[in-house]
Chains A and B, each alone.
Chain A
Amino acid sequence: MTSRRGCNGFLSSVLLLVANLLIPAAILVFATGFFPYKPLLPGLATFDAVTEYGEPPEAKFDKIVFMVIDALRSDFVYAKGSGFQFTQSLIRNGAALPFTAHATSPTVTMPRLKAITTGSIPSFLDVVLNLDEGDESSSLASQDTWLAQMKAKNTGKLVMYGDDTWLKLFPDTFDRADGTSSFFVSDFTEVDNNVTRHIAGELKRDDWNTMVLHYLGLDHIGHKGGPRSPRMVVKQREMDGIIRQIYTAMESEDHLQSTLLVFCGDHGMNDAGNHGASSAGETSPALVFLSPKLRALSSGLPSPLPEREDFQYYSTVEQSDLAPTLAALLGFPVPKNNLGALIPEFLPFWPDPRDQVQLLMRNARQILDIVVAAFGREILESESDRDTLTESRAAYQDLAHGWKNVTGLLGQVSNGEAAPVLIPAVAKWLRNAQDVLSSMASNYDMSRLLLGQAIAVVAFLTAVKTLAMLADDKRLAFVPLSGVIAAYGIMMFASSYVEEEQHFWYWATTAWFAYTGIRGLKRGHQSPRAQVVSTALLLLVMRIVRSWNQTGQKFAGEPDIVKMYLHTNPALLWCLIAAAYIWVHMNLVFGLNSLPIWLSFAAATALVLAAFTFKVAFTLEDAPELVTGFARGMLEMNFSKHAPLITRAHTVFIGLGILAAVVLAFILLRRSVSWSQSGVATLFTLYTLLALTQSRPTNIPLFLLYSIQYRLLASPPTEHSRRRPMDDLSPVELSTLILLLQHAAFFAQGGSNSVASVDLSSAYNGVASFNVAVVGVLTFVGNWAGSIWWSWAGWLMMMERCSSPRAPRPYEATDAAPARETLGRMPREEEKEEEEEEARKRQASAWKRHVAVLTVFAAGGVAAVMAACTVLRTHLFIWTVFSPKYLYCAAWSLGQHLVVNVGVGGLVYWLRAREHAENGWITGCAGKGF
């Protein structure tokens, strides 16, 4: 056995490396086929490019006030009980034309603004880019938008007040601007007052032709209190007042005579007040056009309307329809990449049918250009064999056919008489084109999908082979791992299991604890009493952990521990938080106890105090309702009471950095930073503090629960229990357990496979100017804090197990006694060296085995998700369920697996091996901390 292992040591390392390099390769290749880079038509559209329809019809407006009220769901404006009283009166008298504008998933601000301004349907990748808002590629500066067209008209300046996403999307576009950023969703008033204070002044000036306003307050109220929050109606009245202010100016001021006021939501919100996914509430924002001139179109519509479950009020249009509609109303060519269709309700503005035909034809012609750009001109000419066409090409062919009919009609009669036939025909073609092009917004590159898939499968097989070479566990030990991988793989094909993935991990982890508990009873290494008590406690803690945050899709708003006990009882919450920080403090003092006591105590106290006051100050901004007497007092008492949040965050991060550097230096200089535990365990404590800093306050007590579980699994032997539960696990089983706990912890924190559940609240801790890398790391640590915590716990458990010299392989052991006896005996000098060498080897192979297990799961998971995305690529839920899952899968395998489990894990093992060589942490007494 050992000799074979020696020969294969190098080979297995290479194979493991290959498998881990193939995983990112597979993810990348698949992603380029799944989210293809869409060729954008460059340049600005001009009227001169298309001349065959004659002179463009006259513009109806020359100025536009475009007001985005973030997350303005349709019913907020149209339903009974809305605060938009003035708007509703305008709807009744015809001066306001209301619509429900369908927003496609992902319902996040930046992709929605892209859709609104370009008329295109942003690719799913924009969600990722939405997170790195600073990314250049997401900028629309070089694209054709109605803003660019208004600027090109050169009839006035462009001004912008509100959400600074606009400034990021349109650098150097606005002549006057004041951006507001939304770090804290608890800001309901300030963020909006910063917009409103500019309006009166701007309405007096006549040097602009475009004014963009973007209000964030309503969205923030939604995130905090949901759509039924009592503040919601108050905010609606405030917004209605601003509309009244602008509308009144439009009536009274001369230079605003032909101004169009448009206000809309960029997306809606679900019943919990969040957005990102594709429920009816999230995809149904309101869209209202206002101007006294609109009375020419209609004599008014009934308002308010009774509430509707589906949120579809008045006519439903696509959000992208806004771009061609504004183009017609304001008299500029339709932006080149637009997929929207002119809203037909506005056609009567142009009494001459030829104008109506022309507007529609120009719109259609522009969309045809996109079809041609994607498929070449031959699609219009050739009548190729239908059978050889792929499904998507067939749909394009249909479009080409339709286009021929339309142009045929146009050719027959060049005067206005054909209009009654032609107008509906073009309108129908436009809708059809919109459907086809948007449903195929992604043209999957099948060869890349299959290649990515193949690479993932190879990575999986390589990992399996490596594991088979490395592990000498009994066969039975592989059964749970195989079961988890197989079940997970199957699950990926069912949308509801993807949405409710947490159930799987909770279910499997609970079963695992029961299984190992029962097995422990059978093996009888421990007294049945100790076995039963520890298993019951593990299960109890797991039960509390799983009901901490209700997550998933279906029951996301249901009660959970956070909502029922912590939100209603901030005193309890702060007691638990304080307990968590005190616990970290104790561990930190303990982990630095080779330093002089005053120094270790002072350092630990200063750092923990800084971290705790940061948490209080942060919560005061982010969720002030949670900060009550005691915590507030804590902040007041502190000498730093006026310190800005950013300084506090810097203090914590720098403090953590210094202490980590000290611990590292000790390890590298081969000294002990703690007499009682390994330096790596001290690093674990420092990570815990980082995790607390990056976690929502309500999630901090979870780490106390995790540490109870960790203690139960790995606390050192006592007279009551000679063996720890983890000693009964074989190496593969221990890695499987870590895998289960990592996933369970992610979901317990409120994570899910929905874009809406990404927690960005801690992403900007200590960030003054935007930096993609920093924000990315902070976001990742914030969302995976528990999972990373369990990675650390796993490393420590594994390393400690390998540390005991000559301990029988516990999973092979049949009786409990020998381990202790060996420990008590003092080994001779040369024996000791041999043992150390042996222990180092054990460490290295244990680490490789651990990584191999995790790689098998990561590669298997990636392959399964890819297979699901490929097979279900035409499924209704591909963009709402499976694509987000793919992104999460990429984050799991690149972030959690490669960076944390392999990268950081490798570093930790290396450090530990160094420590090992000097301090001989082989006496197996380590790990009293935690």
Chain B
Amino acid sequence: MPSTPAKGAAATAALSKSNKPTPSPQPAQPPSLSPPPSDEKPQPPLRPVQTKPTQLARTARHALPALQAALFLARFRALVADPVAEMSMTLPVTAALQVTYALACLPVAGSSGGKGGDEAAAAGAGAGKKTATATATATAMPARLGSGKRKAAAAADGGMRKGATTAVLSLLLSALVTPFLYITMILFGAPFLTHGSHTLLCAAHMAVLALFPLFFVRGVDGRAWAALGGFAAPLDDTFGGLVGAVVGAWLGAVPIPLDWDRDWQRWPVTILAGLYAGYLLGRVVGGTVAWGKKF
């Protein structure tokens, strides 16, 4: 049997050096010390995340989901043939695409979109700085080429540095959250004694897809995560992606019992397909027509 979620979650909370709830939309959340909202002085409502106004961001915002969908479809046959191998192979690719997306389009936590994530990001920055630099320069290249003016380039360079650090930290947080997503999937009916690596990899994909952008834009801001966990946040690219991913993965279980005896009905192919489809759809819809709306 899985360990009690609360206990495990508390451990992560300690790891992420925060008393705030673990950023997970699922119920596996740690105890929070924050008192009920009514006792606090009124705070401005959580604002939806605005993507960067650059040309590059606009292009990437539309091109990347298409690219991701195309990649998923292209590799679908391989996924059906050997889910574990394929999922472990595509995980870095998905992560890279997500990092590109975050750096190109999303505001870093604490800049203008999110609030209160600054200190946490800064506190953790020292640890991951060395490894971060290498990745940062690599991923920052296209962005640098894209901007023409020198001044803007310099500003972008500073932003990129911070962005890269945040991206690395967010990836780290996504990895930390993966076991809790795994437990949540088990609670939702994933096989418990078998298919362990299948489910874990599926959870990792979910973390990288749905949670990484949220870590990137919201940091570990407790209030933001409470709103996200209660599905009370306004819709935008990131939150839309989360909602889409959760609903998509849940709906992905629907075709499994059908007696078609197809290979793609095997665990967790449909869940992963639902996850990707839901995430991409949610991200696009959340970033466009439903932007700013609330549940």
Question: Nearest chain-B residue to A520 (Cβ)?
Answer: B230
Residues on B with C-beta less than 8 A from A535 are 27
Interface residues on B, range: 35 or more
Q: Does B256 contact A (CB under 8 A)?
A: yes
Asked whether A41 is an interface residue with its Cβ less than 8 Å from the other chain, the reply is: no
**Contact between chains at A522 and B231 (CB < 8 Å):** yes
Stretch at the interface among A138-146, A523-531, A572-580: A523-531
> Does the CB pair A500–B257 fall under 8 Å?
yes
Is A547 part of the binding interface, using a Cβ–Cβ cutoff of 8 Å?
yes
| A654 contacts B by Cβ under 8 Å | no
Stretch of B31-39, B51-59, B60-68, B213-221 at the chain-chain interface: B31-39
Which of the residues B6, B25, B192, B257 comes within 8 Å of A518, measured between beta carbons? Answer: B25
Q: Is the Cβ of A503 less than 8 Å from the Cβ of B32?
A: no
Query: How far is it, in angstroms, between the C-alpha of A503 and the C-alpha of B1 when the chains are bound?
Result: 21
Query: Of the candidates A494, A510, A528, which one forms a contact with B258 in the assembled complex, judged by CB atoms under 8 Å apart?
Result: A494
Contacts of B259 in A (CB 8 A): 495-496, 499, 554
Contacts between chains A and B (CB distance < 8 A), count: 99
Q: Which of A499, A507, A547, A815 contacts B253 (CB 8 A)?
A: A507
Contact call B27/A524, Cβ cutoff below 8 A: no
In whole angstroms, how far apart are the Cα atoms of A519 and B189 in the complex?
Answer: 21
Given the known inter-chain contacts A521-B230, A532-B27, A536-B28, please indicate yes or no for A510 contacting B6, CB distance below 8 A: no
Known: A497-B257, A527-B36. A518 touches B27 (CB 8 A): yes
Is A517 interfacial (CB 8 A cutoff)?
yes
- Docked Cα-Cα span, A520 to B21, in Å, equals 15
Q: Cβ of B204 < 8 Å from any Cβ of A? A: no
Interfacial chain A residues near B28, Cβ < 8 Å: 532, 536
1/0 per position for B224-256, CB-CB distance to A under 8 A? 001001111000000000000000001001001
With contacts A521-B226, A522-B232, A547-B192 taken as known, whether A532 is within 8 angstroms of B6 at the C-beta atoms is: yes
A763 to B29, CA, bound (A): 46
- Specify which chain B residues have a CB less than 8 angstroms from the CB of A510 in the assembled complex: 187-189
Is B111 interfacial (CB 8 A cutoff)? no
Does residue A543 face the partner (Cβ distance < 8 Å to B)? yes
- Tell me the bound Cα distance from A815 to B39 in angstroms: 12
B1 / chain A contacts, CB cutoff of 8 Å:
544
Tell which of B29, B226, B231 has the most Cβ of chain A within 10 Å.
B29
Q: Does B116 contact A (CB under 8 A)?
A: no
- A532 and B295 CA atoms in complex are apart in Å by 20
| B189 contacts across to A, CB distance below 8 A | 503, 506-507, 510, 543, 546
Complex Cα–Cα for A407 and B2 (A): 75
Number of A residues whose C-beta is below 8 Å from B?
Answer: 38
Nearest CB on B from A28, distance (A): 31
CB distance A532 to B29 under 8 Å? yes
Tell me, rounded to whole Å, the shortest Cβ–Cβ distance linking B28 to chain A. Answer: 6
Residues of B within 8 A of A522 (CB): 230-232, 295
| Interfacial chain A residues near B232, Cβ < 8 Å | 521-522
A536/B5 in contact, CB under 8 A: yes
Q: Are B26's CB and A514's CB within 8 A?
A: yes
CB of A403 to closest CB in B, whole Å: 40
Cβ proximity bits B51-93 to A, threshold 8 Å, 1 near / 0 not:
0000000000000000000000000000000000000000000
Closest B residue to A564 using CB positions: B193
- Which of chain B's residues has its CB closest to A817's CB? B38
Chain A residues closer than 8 Å to B192, beta-carbon distance: 543, 547
B21 touching A528 by the CB < 8 A rule?
Answer: yes
Closest residue on chain A to residue B24 by CB atoms: A532
Chain A residues whose C-beta falls within 8 Å of the C-beta of B2 in the assembled complex? 540
Check A511 for interface membership: any CB of B closer than 8 A.
Answer: yes
- Chain A residues within an 8 Å CB radius of B226: 521, 528
Residues of chain A within 8 A of B250, CB atoms compared: 507, 511
User: Complex formed: what's the CA distance from A517 to B188 in Å?
Assistant: 14
Cross-interface CB contact of A519 among B187, B193, B230, B258, cutoff 8 Å: B230
Chain B: which residue is nearest A494 at the CB level?
B258
Are the C-beta atoms of B230 and A524 separated by less than 8 Å? yes
A540 in contact with B258 (CB, 8 Å): no
Residue from the set A506, A522, A536, A544 with the largest chain B CB neighbour count within 10 Å: A536
Contact: B27 with A517, CB < 8 Å?
A: yes
Q: Check B258–A524 contact: CB distance below 8 A.
A: no
B258 proximity list for chain A (CB < 8 A): 494, 496-497
The A-contacting residues of B in range 5-33, CB under 8 angstroms, are 5-6, 21, 25-32
The CA-CA distance from A455 to B217 in the complex, in Å, is 57
Q: How far is the CB of B27 from chain A (nearest CB, A)?
A: 4
A535 to chain B, nearest CB (A): 4
Residue B125 is within 8 A (CB to CB) of chain A in the complex: no
Max chain B C-beta neighbours (<10 A), residue from A494, A528, A540: A528
Complex alpha-carbon distance, A535 and B230, angstroms: 13
| Chain B residues in 8 Å Cβ range of A506 | 189
Q: How far is the CA of A503 from the CA of B229 in the complex (A)?
A: 26
Alpha-carbon distance between A815 and B21 when the two chains are bound, in angstroms? 23
By a CB distance below 8 angstroms, the chain A residues around B27 are: 514, 517-518, 532, 535-536, 539
B228 CB, nearest partner CB in chain A, Å: 10
Q: A536-B5, A554-B257 are in contact. Are A518 and B187 (CB under 8 A)?
A: no
Residues of chain B within 8 A (CB-CB) of A528 are: 21, 29, 32, 34, 226, 229
Q: With an 8 A cutoff between CB atoms, is A533 at the interface?
A: yes
> Are A518 and B231 neighbours in the complex by a CB distance under 8 Å?
yes
From A497, A514, A815, give the contact of B38 (CB < 8 A). Answer: A815
A519 to B253, CA, bound (A): 23
B229, A521: Cβ atoms closer than 8 Å: yes
Give Cα distance in the complex from A522 to B2, angstroms. 26
> Is the C-beta of B186 less than 8 angstroms from some C-beta in chain A?
yes
Within 8 A of B (CB), among A537-563: 539-540, 542-544, 546-547, 552, 554, 559
CB neighbours (8 Å) of A552 from chain B are: 257
Report A-chain residues with C-beta under 8 Å of the C-beta of B6: 532-533, 536
Cα distance A547–B186 in the bound complex, in angstroms: 11
CA distance A815 to B38 in the complex (A): 9
Interface 1/0s, chain A 773-794, versus B by CB < 8 A?
A: 0000000000000000000000
Complex Cα spacing A523 to B295, Å:
12
Query: In the complex, which residues of chain A have a beta carbon less than 8 angstroms from the beta carbon of B31?
Result: 529, 532-533
List the A side residues contacting B30 at CB < 8 Å: 529, 532
- In the complex, how many angstroms separate the beta carbon of A565 from the nearest chain B beta carbon? 11
Report how far A533 CA is from B31 CA in the complex, Å. Answer: 8
Report the separation of the CA atoms of residues A533 and B32 in the bound assembly, to the nearest whole angstrom: 11
Closest to B5 in A: A536
Give Cα A692–Cα B257 distance, bound, in whole angstroms.
31
Contacting residues, chain A, for B29 (C-beta < 8 A) = 528, 532
Q: Which residue in chain A gives the minimum CB-CB distance to B37?
A: A524
List, in ascending order, chain A residues with CB within 8 A of B25's CB.
Answer: 518
Cβ contact within 8 Å between A503 and B188: no
**Which residues does chain A contribute within 8 Å of B32, judged by CB atoms?**
527-529
Chain A 416-447 interface residues, beta-carbon cutoff 8 Å to B: none
Residues of A within 8 A of B38 (CB): 524, 815
- A559 contact set on B, CB distance < 8 A: 193
A519: chain B residues within 8 A (beta carbon): 230-231
- Candidate in B27, B226, B256 with the most chain A CB atoms within 10 angstroms: B27
Name the residue on B nearest A513 (C-beta): B27
The answer to whether B257 and A503 touch across the interface, beta carbons within 8 angstroms, is yes
B33 → A minimal CB distance (Å): 9
A497 to B256, CA, bound (A): 10
Q: Known pairs A496-B257, A529-B30, A540-B5; list 4 more (Cβ under 8 Å).
A: A497-B258, A524-B36, A542-B187, A546-B189
Q: What 10 A-B pairs have minimum CB-CB distances, sorted nearest first? A: A522-B230, A521-B230, A496-B259, A500-B257, A535-B27, A529-B31, A532-B29, A539-B187, A522-B232, A536-B5
* Residues of B that sit less than 8 Å from A by CB: 1-2, 4-6, 21, 25-32, 34, 36-38, 186-189, 192-193, 226, 229-232, 250, 253, 256-260, 295
What are 11 inter-chain pairs, A to B, with CB distance below 8 A? A500-B257, A507-B250, A510-B189, A527-B32, A528-B29, A528-B34, A529-B30, A536-B27, A542-B187, A543-B192, A554-B257
Residues in A lying within 8 Å of B, measured CB to CB: 494-497, 499-500, 503, 506-507, 510-511, 514, 517-524, 527-529, 532-533, 535-536, 539-540, 542-544, 546-547, 552, 554, 559, 815
